[in-house]
Structure 1
Amino acid sequence: MAVLERPVPAKFWLPQLEPFDGLKNLQDHLNTFKTTLGLQQSPDEIMCRSFPTTLRWAGREWFTRLPTSSIDNFEQLSSAFLCHFVGGQRPKRPADHLLTVKQGERETLRSYVKRFTQETLEVDDADDKVQLTTFKAALKSKEFVISLAKNPPRKMAEMLLKAQKYMNARTHWQPS
């Protein structure tokens, strides 16, 4: 049966996924989509018809330029998607990249936390110990470093929570 001729099942629900915009991890997007629709045991044709709803900007533009009736199954669509966008994906960086992320002299802790967190998303295989070590090594606030030494976090999530509490306490103590 042709992709566009397959009726949508009555109990089908469209997954609410973060749209792929051409910049995010395409393999992760594809895997998340397949897993989510796999839970509904969606036929191949429905997967093909649903996939463009998870695309925006460059992703949607690519899809709309596909020749009509050029896709027969989801494997074909997946392959075309990967082939088109794989060149635009930045390769993951090694864990030692985090050593280059340092808090600027006048940078707020809030800004540094946000930037460091973004950078960890670009790194392949950065475990908690690497993240903790590199994060602490680049801190400029001596007060915060001293507070961490008293009760050191063991996980990066703990570190981020401590940073949030420290930032909140500093906000409340400063005069308006």
Structure 2
Amino acid sequence: MPPYLKIYDGTTNPEDHIIHYVATVKGNDLSKEEVPSVLLKKFGETLTGGALTWYSQLPTRSIATFEEMADKFITAYVGAKKAEARVKDIFAIRQMHGERIRDFLARFNRVIMSLPNVTERMAVAAFQNGLNRNGSRATRKLLSRLMKYPPTTWEEIHNAYCAKVRADEDDINSPTQRLMSLQIEAKKDHRNEGQRDQLGPRSGQERHQPYVRTSAPPPP
């Protein structure tokens, strides 16, 4: 087999491997009659790991054509195709602009719950990948923590959030904090108005005061 032919280990889409394998074989200098025989005889050379074990356990002469081999192969590894799709799904989850980490965690968990058989290590990697690196101070704080202490379990992700971020998000987004912010702004406006009153009328206003006629002074 050509050195550039992809080797299949049973963890990715089996249909993609079949398509690539057939295209590679047909690209060699073979007659049309030779292609089916070569496809069947050389297929085992494209496998490794669990896929090679599966191939070696097939009964001798139990498969007569490459089409039959391809059908059995795809059926055996259809689960790998679904797993590959799950990986793409969870790594597509991204923290939106302005989304709190708490809300992103909840949304991420909902997606994970809808995808069966996602490993914990895969979920941890996908969550870190989905954090917005240009996000809020709390997000950057969590990312820094996770880079310093790389997590391997979902519990470690949660503990890092609780230790470094949750209190900040609670303070920033609580009703009390929002009320205090409004009160501070109101006090600033009030102080600014008081300062303007103390300064009195501006010079331009003084120049435009209405003229008031006064009686002429008595002659000396």
Q: Which TM-score applies when normalising by structure 2? A: 0.38
Bigger Cα Rg: 2
> Which structure's relative contact order is higher, taking Cα pairs within 8 Å and 6+ residues apart?
1
Q: Which TM-score applies when normalising by structure 1? A: 0.47
